[in-house]
Chain A
Amino acid sequence: MTSPPRSSFLQAVAAVVRKDLTAEFRSRELLSAMLVFSMLVILIFNFALELEPSVRKKVTAGVLWTTFAFAGTLGLNRSMAVEKDRGCLDGLLLAPVDRSAIYFGKVISNLAFMLIVEAIVLPMYAVLYNELSIFQPGFLGVILLGSVGYIAVGTLLASMSIQARTRDVLLPILLFPVAIPVLLASVKASSGFLAGAEMSEIWPPLNLLIVYDVIFTAVAFMVFDAVVEE
């Protein structure tokens, strides 16, 4: 409490992240669920779209982003539900720290889970479909930017949906329509990188993605207080 406010804010964020990561690495509930689910979605896409080499080039970005979006809601739901289940959220809220520290802590840990899943799914996809072109800095950068935007909004909406009666069902319904710009811009930018398009063609969706990330992180940061307030 005596330390200067800025460092105590960062400490609080770090503490929330540490708590989440420790709990997750002990139980591995969330990560294993997200991973298996992602694999299954890709498998279903394989049958549903008949991912032959000619088709694959065009739909790779779409398939991957759909997979991440679905797996993301699964992770977000679980990550917030464990807080709610045994009254952990109330405990967190009682802590004498700024509420936004809790928000950023949750965002960082959710983002970490999402990135871990992506780091495993991407190589697997590359091997299964012989699509090694996904390992280029631009493509991976889009994945990072898209995940940031998705998780920033998703964490806020998940902390609302877990407090509602229809909690598990509600998150995708709330999140998908609002997150459509992220998904559109990410798919557009990442398929641009895969097709080897000119940078002048890739910049507009990339800019949009950055703008979305900034706006929605800022707004979520401002309204998070109102969402968790008791």
Chain B
Amino acid sequence: MTPKPALLKILDYLSVILLAIAAYLALVFAPTELVMGDVQRVFYFHIGTAWTGLLGFLFAAGLGIAYLVTKNMKWDIVEVAAVEISVVFFLITIVLGSIWARPAWNTWWTWDPRLTTAAVTELIYVAYFMLRAGVEDPERRARFGAVYALLGGLSAPITFMAIRLFRSIHPVVIGAASGAQEKMNMSGDMKVAFFFALFAFTVIFIDLFWNRIRLGQLENKVEQLKLKVM
């Protein structure tokens, strides 16, 4: 077994440090938002995880195409890693969003386009894992996973457009627009915390991603060894 690369070890420590700094910036350094108060601080991590999670899903769709074209197992390993971490990050996004929404919108959940799309997207990738769990042959599992990751990546943006149409007759959702606008007029210190959180979560994502790819390669090796024994 190849030892853990030095760069990855450094990245592990760096992720922890960055997370700590991001937490400090979001919880202490950034000024308290005038209207919403302290709960707005959830926003920095909310955007950080949402951004990396969404990027991961899109990346997985691309990797699905790469697998289907090349039929090289390594793309499958990378694809699973991307989806798995994105699912977790996206779940964090949804939970953090709910925590923010309770005082801001006076409800944990509303069927606003973004929230609904987020829920559907999360469900698509939960289904992705159920599909993979149901297929034993690794090569077939990789093919099915690639196809479904591709369909999911295509379907999520269309869902967003569809829901926006659907809800346009219900004026209740305008709350979402104010949520987005509020992000635009951040003060300087808020911007520091915001962009730092984005950067920190991108690094954390890359670190987890790399670790997960290594884990996937190990799993692959174990599976091959098992086959050899049998």
- Enumerate chain A interface residues (CB-CB to B < 8 A): 153, 156-157, 160-161, 163-167, 170, 173-174, 177-181, 184-185, 187-188, 204-205, 208, 211-212, 215-216, 219, 223, 226-227, 229
- Nearest B residue to A174, CB-CB: B127
Contact A223 B68 (CB under 8 A): yes
In contact, A204 and B130 (Cβ under 8 angstroms)? no
**How many residues does chain B have at the interface if contact means C-beta atoms less than 8 Å apart?**
29
- Contact, CB under 8 Å: A212 / B158: yes
Which residues of chain A have C-beta atoms less than 8 A from B124's C-beta?
177-178
| Residues from chain A with Cβ under 8 Å of B159 in the complex | 180-181, 184
Residue-wise, chain B 153-166 has the 8 Å CB interface mask toward A (1 for contact) of: 01100110111011
Residue of A161, A167, A180, A185 most packed against chain B (CB within 10 A): A180
B165 touches A205 (CB 8 A): yes
Checking A166, A184, A185 against B130 with a beta-carbon cut-off of 8 angstroms, the contacting residue is A166
Q: Among the listed stretches B22-30, B136-144, B185-193, B198-206, which one makes contact with chain A, having 4 or more residues with CB under 8 Å of it?
A: B136-144
Inter-subunit contact B162/A173 (CB<8 Å)? no
Overall SS of chain A's interface: helix
A160 and B148 in contact, given A166-B130, A229-B143 (Cβ under 8 angstroms): yes
Q: Which residues of A contact B140 (CB under 8 A)?
A: 163
A111 to chain B, nearest CB (A): 19
Chain B residue nearest to A228 in the complex (CB): B143
- Of chain B, the residue at the smallest CB distance from A175 is B127
* Chain B residues whose CB sits within 8 angstroms of the CB of A184 once the complex forms: 159, 162-163, 165-166
- The answer to whether A164 and B131 have CB atoms under 8 Å apart is yes
Query: Given A167-B134, A178-B152, list of 12 further CB < 8 A pairs?
Result: A165-B134, A165-B136, A166-B133, A170-B130, A173-B130, A177-B123, A177-B127, A181-B161, A188-B162, A204-B165, A219-B151, A223-B68
A223 & B155 in contact (Cβ 8 Å cutoff): no
- Asked if B143 and A227 make an inter-chain contact with CB atoms under 8 angstroms apart, the answer reads yes
User: A146 to B144, alpha carbons, bound, how many Å?
Assistant: 25
**How distant is the Cα of A157 from the Cα of B158 in the complex, in angstroms?**
18
Q: Is the CB of B152 within 8 A of A227?
A: no
State how many angstroms separate the Cβ of A154 from the closest Cβ of chain B.
11
Given A174-B148, A184-B166, A226-B147, A160:B131 Cβ within 8 A: yes
The 8 sampled A-B contact pairs (Cβ below 8 Å) are A157-B151, A174-B127, A178-B151, A181-B155, A181-B162, A188-B165, A208-B158, A216-B154
A178 to B124 CA separation, bound complex (whole angstroms): 7
Task: Please measure, in the bound complex, the distance between the C-alpha atom of A227 and the C-alpha atom of B154, giving whole angstroms.
Answer: 18
Chain B residues lying within 8 Å of A174, measured Cβ to Cβ, are: 127, 130-131, 148
- Which residues on the B side are within 8 Å of A164 (C-beta)? 131, 134-135, 144
Given contacts A163-B135, A219-B150, A226-B143, contact A211 B120 (CB under 8 A): no
Docked complex Cα distance between A49 and B144 (Å): 38
Q: Provide the residues of chain A in CB contact with B127, threshold 8 Å.
A: 173-174, 177
Residues of A within 8 A of B136 (CB): 165
Complexed CA–CA distance, A153 and B159 (Å): 15
| Residue of chain B at shortest CB distance from A215 | B154
- Do residues B134 and A170 form an inter-chain contact, with CB atoms below 8 A? yes
Residues of A within 8 Å of B163, CB to CB, are 184
When the two chains form their complex, are residues B150 and A223 in contact, meaning their CB atoms are under 8 A apart? yes
**Which of chain A's residues have a CB closer than 8 A to the CB of B130?**
166, 170, 173-174
Top 4 A-B pairs, shortest CB-CB distance: A164-B134, A184-B162, A181-B162, A166-B134
Could you tell me the distance between the alpha carbons of A187 and B163 in the complex, rounded to whole angstroms? 11
- Report how far A215 CA is from B154 CA in the complex, Å: 9
The distance in angstroms between the C-alpha atoms of A126 and B217, with both chains bound, is 58
Q: Which residues of B contact A229 (CB under 8 A)?
A: 143
Of B134, B146, B162, the contact of A180 (CB 8 Å cutoff): B162
Of chain B, the residue at the smallest CB distance from A227 is B147
Contact between A180 and B155, CB atoms less than 8 A apart? yes
Interface residue from B123, B154, B161 paired with A208 (Cβ < 8 Å): B161
Nearest CB of B to A205, in Å: 5
Rounded to whole angstroms, the CA-CA distance of A110 and B159 in the bound complex is 24
- Write the nearest CB–CB distance from A218 to chain B, whole angstroms: 10
How many whole Å from A185's CB to the nearest CB in chain B? 5
Q: Nearest-CB distance from B151 to chain A (Å)? A: 5
Contact B148 A188 (CB under 8 A): no
